[in-house]
Amino acid sequence: MIYLDYAAATPLSEKAKKAMLPYFDEKFFNPSAAYLPANEVRKEYEKAKGDIAHVIGAKAADLVMTSGATEANSLVFAAIPNDAEVLISTIEHPSILENAKQKQYRTIAVDKNGRIDLDDFRKKLTPNTQLVSVCFASSELGTIQPLSDIARIIQEERTRRAFAGEVTPLYFHSDASQGLGLAEIKVARLGVDLLTINAAKVYGPKGIGALYVGRSVRLKPQSYGGGQEMGLRSGTENVPATIAFATAILDAEKHLGGERKRLAELRNKFKRQLEKQIDGIEFLSKDKVQLPNFLPVTILGLDAERLIFALEDKGVYLSTGAACAASKGEKSPTLKAIGLNDEQIAGSLRITLGRPTTEEDVVAAVKAIAEVVSAERKRLADS
């Protein structure tokens, strides 16, 4: 089996699994209980939160733990009145787009590599904009966004509002689900007020994520109860998953430099081989602004879904567009936004590499893709 869909899901790392296991039985205590073993669990939970926060340049008190990225994103949008203006990029994940649809939203154009058009952003930012939400990196293209440039424009608008005596708040949010563990992500450097992170894409477990909440931000709880997470997200803490998330993210941080280099080299090799062996293949976005493990391509004249099923027979697993949208048969808004035509969209595959990916995998995957493409072209020519 050659799995090439690490943007959709990563396996839990051995280290994270090992760290988590005792918290299911030996240390299963409710962190809110009064006795000593429960207090210890509380401390370990808080330490884990501190570790996670540290990786993004924040403190435990800045994080609200959630059940994943979608909940974190939804918590951000819940803070914004329904009649407030919201700006998102044209290439956001459904968990941003569908939340934006609950508000008055507009989309910011991107260039052919999927990067935000800053002029378009300036034009669309109005005195009524209360939230700007732009992903750290696109989940379909891996394109990294110029967040600190966006932050600068937002800061200008805030200054203008302050001088004009306008009190409308303006928050800058980024979903960094794609990118965590593959790039330097520090909230201060990016200039964001709110940042979504997610364990399930960084070799942590499913069902745990977090929202970084800057000091100036006022959120509205979506769940009420015991008052956990500073009252912003009640419910017994998911201790095992948080411990595993911390272990996974610290481990990713530790190996970031080397792994980024290794993945980029592997990806570039993959690219060169595909280019050599397959006619009519186009590469989406470009290396310079892309996460190192992303290799989105389009193969002209072919249907990506057919290719995927044929590759499955050869034990190669990859995806068309985002996994979330893929299962619903909709055309990817991201691929439309970067100007692809219907033929290009129909033939688009998202290849994403991961920690377990080896050079042998790349060689075997290229061979399998080339065979499948050639068989499919033959079938089409014959019919």
Contacting a second copy within 124-183 (CB under 8 A):
none
By beta-carbon proximity to a second copy, the closer residue of 73 and 290 is 73
Q: Pick out residues in 331-360 that bind a second copy (CB under 8 A).
A: none
The binder of a second copy chosen from 49, 93, 115, 355 (CB under 8 A): 93
Contact code string over 51-80 relative to a second copy, x by CB under 8 A: ---------------xxxxxx-xx--xx--
CA distance 74 to 136: 17
Q: Taking contact as CB under 8 A, which single stretch among the options 97-105, 135-143, 336-344, 371-379 is the one that binds a second copy? A: 97-105
Q: At closest approach, how far in Å is the CB of 131 from a second copy?
A: 14
Instruction: Give the number of other CB atoms < 10 A from CB of residue 141.
Output: 29
Is position 223 an interface residue for a second copy (rule: CB under 8 A)?
yes
Q: Which of 324, 364, 368, 370 is catalytic?
A: 324
Instruction: Give the β-pairing of 2-3 and 316-317.
Output: parallel
CB 253 within 8 A of CB 89: no
Looking at this protein, which amino acid is placed at residue 17?
K
Out of 293, 320, 348, 357, the residue judged to bind a second copy by CB under 8 A: 320
Regarding 102 and contact with a second copy (CB under 8 A), the answer is yes
What whole-number distance in Å separates Cα of residue 128 and Cα of residue 118? Answer: 18
Quote the tokens at residue 316: 């190669």
Taking the least distance from each CB to a second copy, the nearer of 36 and 381 is 36
The CA-to-CA distance between both ends of the chain, in Å, stands at 31
User: Which of 117, 166, 184, 305 is in the footprint of a second copy by CB under 8 A?
Assistant: 305
- Of the listed pieces 29-37, 178-186, 247-255, 334-342, which binds a second copy according to CB under 8 A? 29-37
Minimum distance, C-beta of residue 358 to a second copy, in the bound complex (Å): 17
Which residue, 46 or 184, is less far from a second copy as judged by CB?
A: 46
Nearer to a second copy, 125 or 372 (CB): 372
Interstrand relation of 294-299 and 104-108 (parallel, antiparallel or unpaired)? unpaired
Q: Check binding of 2 to a second copy (CB under 8 A).
A: no
Q: How many residues bind a second copy (CB under 8 A)?
A: 74
Cβ neighbour number for residue 343 with a 10 Å cutoff: 13
Q: State yes or no: residue 82 binds a second copy (CB under 8 A).
A: no
Beta strands in the chain (DSSP E): 2-3, 63-66, 85-89, 104-108, 129-133, 171-175, 194-198, 209-213, 281-283, 294-299, 316-317, 348-352
CA distance 106 to 128: 12
Decide whether 99 or 125 has the Cβ nearer to a second copy.
99
- With CB under 8 A as the contact rule, the residue among 25, 83, 360, 382 that binds a second copy is 25
Report the C-alpha gap between 142 and 144 in whole angstroms: 6
- For the bound state, the minimum distance from the C-beta of residue 383 to a second copy, rounded and expressed in Å, comes to 24
User: For the window 230-259, what string marks contact with a second copy as x by the rule CB under 8 A?
Assistant: ----xxxxxxxx------------------
Q: Does 29 bind a second copy (CB under 8 A)?
A: yes
Which residue, 50 or 94, has its beta carbon nearer to a second copy? 94
Tell me whether residue 153 or residue 324 sits nearer to a second copy (CB atom).
Answer: 324
Separation CA 110–CA 334 (nearest Å) = 9
Neighbours of 379 (CB within 10 A): 11
In whole angstroms, how close is the CB of 38 to a second copy at the nearest point? 8
Assess whether 135 carries a catalytic annotation. no
| CA 298 – CA 129 distance, rounded (Å) | 36
Instruction: Pick the closer one to a second copy by CB: 12 or 299.
Output: 12
The footprint of a second copy on residues 176-215 (CB under 8 A) is 200, 205-208
Widest Cα–Cα separation across the chain: 75
Does 34 contact a second copy by CB under 8 A?
Answer: yes
Report if residue 218 touches a second copy, rule: CB under 8 A: no
107 lines the binding site for a second copy (CB under 8 A) = no
C-alpha span between 118 and 121 (Å, rounded): 5
Q: CA angle 266-325-259, nearest 5°?
A: 20
Q: Kindly tell me the sign of the dihedral angle through the C-alpha atoms of 280, 285, 289, 295.
A: negative
Taking the CB of residue 240, how many other CB atoms lie within 10 A of it?
23
Catalytic annotation, residues = 324
